[in-house]
Amino acid sequence: MTVRFGVLGAGRIGQVHARAIASVDGATLTAIADPVNAAAVSVRDAYGCDIRTIDEIAASDDVDAVVICTPTDTHADLIEQFVRAGKAVFCEKPVDLSVARVKDCLKTVAAENGTLMVGFQRRFDPDFQALKQAIDDGKIGDVEMVTLISRDPGAPPADYIKRSGGIFRDMTIHDFDVARWLLGEEVDSVQAAASVLTDPEIAKLGDYDSLNVIMTTASGRQCTINNTRRATYGYDQRIEVHGSKGSVRAENHREANIEIANADGYTRPPLLNFFMSRYTAAYAAEIASFVDAVTNGTATVTTGHDGLMALALADAALQSVAEGRVVKLSEITG
């Protein structure tokens, strides 16, 4: 069986997923939709699919699954439309910026017995998979503390920031998902600090660019997240998990694995500078995992619930910053 895909949205991340679909066994790209025709044409020419409207794709008999790469404020509606149309749905994070709206959407998915995978590609990164495997193999004993350092090379444009829901919901949300994946227990409470250090324009937009988060679980496990929007040395993505028997960490990826030595010292190249080159393998593995779930009728690895929980953690962190106190996750999730 081959899963026939429609991709909704031919922007940057839509192209990433189109490429992933083209490279994965058991998947084929049938149609692309985008209001900007040139973007749709570009995908069609690269991968040989049809151009259709979103509604046409929903009505297409030759489409089994869709990948939603449209603006965030359309995600929940599209998820509902497509699960009702009987399509398996892969949606880029976040489902919505409102916890209440996400909950409603997930109810619809459940009522329709739909398939929904929310895109948290980091879980599929080969290095992070190896790190998780080491934990699952007992190499570090019981997980005690997770340290996530995640730094962007530079801030996105102001227009993007305005619609993003803020750094916690846009950037940290990936770390919240990784935290849940690695802690082995749900987060119980959240505290955070956030400030603007790289660009005062970000403050004018009501957002932050530099933050630290501490999360704790009921048994006392802890996780910290360190984020900044500016790392001159590239896209810095580190995970370290400390356990009762040891520790495991994943290293960054560089532009090239060389080192130059001279009178100034020993220099290695900067890190890969872009999330799409850093996570190329992860995006392909993520789609392969979705294809596998659709083909075999099994549960997806990441779910709508995962999307909800990561968003709730973002809301809890925001509330912690605003109120200067520890916030229980249950205050957000109800």
Neighbours of 147 (CB within 10 A): 16
Comparison of 137 and 159: residue with beta carbon closer to a copy of itself: 137
**How are beta strands 3-8 and 65-68 bridged, if at all?**
parallel
Comparison of 29 and 116: residue with beta carbon closer to a copy of itself: 29
**Minimal distance, residue 119 CB to a copy of itself, in Å:** 22
**Minimal distance, residue 42 CB to a copy of itself, in Å:** 14
Comparison of 1 and 261: residue with beta carbon closer to a copy of itself: 261
Q: Is the peptide bond before 94 cis (omega within 30 degrees of 0)?
A: yes
Comparison of 305 and 328: residue with beta carbon closer to a copy of itself: 328
**Minimal distance, residue 66 CB to a copy of itself, in Å:** 26
* Residues near a copy of itself (CB under 8 A): 126-127, 129-131, 134, 139-140, 142, 144-145, 147, 149, 151, 189, 191-193, 195-198, 210-212, 214, 216, 219-222, 224, 226, 228, 230-233, 242, 244-270, 324-326
**Minimal distance, residue 107 CB to a copy of itself, in Å:** 33
**How are beta strands 187-195 and 50-51 bridged, if at all?**
unpaired
Is 90:119 a contact under the CB 8 Å cutoff? yes
Coil, strand or helix at 309: helix
Spatial separation of the C-alpha atoms in residues 182 and 180, rounded to whole Å: 6
**Minimal distance, residue 23 CB to a copy of itself, in Å:** 9
Spatial separation of the C-alpha atoms in residues 208 and 203, rounded to whole Å: 6
**Minimal distance, residue 68 CB to a copy of itself, in Å:** 27
Comparison of 224 and 303: residue with beta carbon closer to a copy of itself: 224
Closest C-alpha to 175, from 201, 195, 152: 152
**Minimal distance, residue 135 CB to a copy of itself, in Å:** 10
Comparison of 162 and 268: residue with beta carbon closer to a copy of itself: 268
Comparison of 107 and 325: residue with beta carbon closer to a copy of itself: 325
Is 234:270 a contact under the CB 8 Å cutoff? yes
Coil, strand or helix at 327: strand
Sheet strand arrangement including 236-243: 236-243, 143-151, 222-228, 210-217, 187-195, 327-328
Q: Which two tokens stand for residue 187?
A: 């987060």
Task: List C-alpha distances in Å: 314 to 120, 188, 318.
Answer: 15, 13, 6
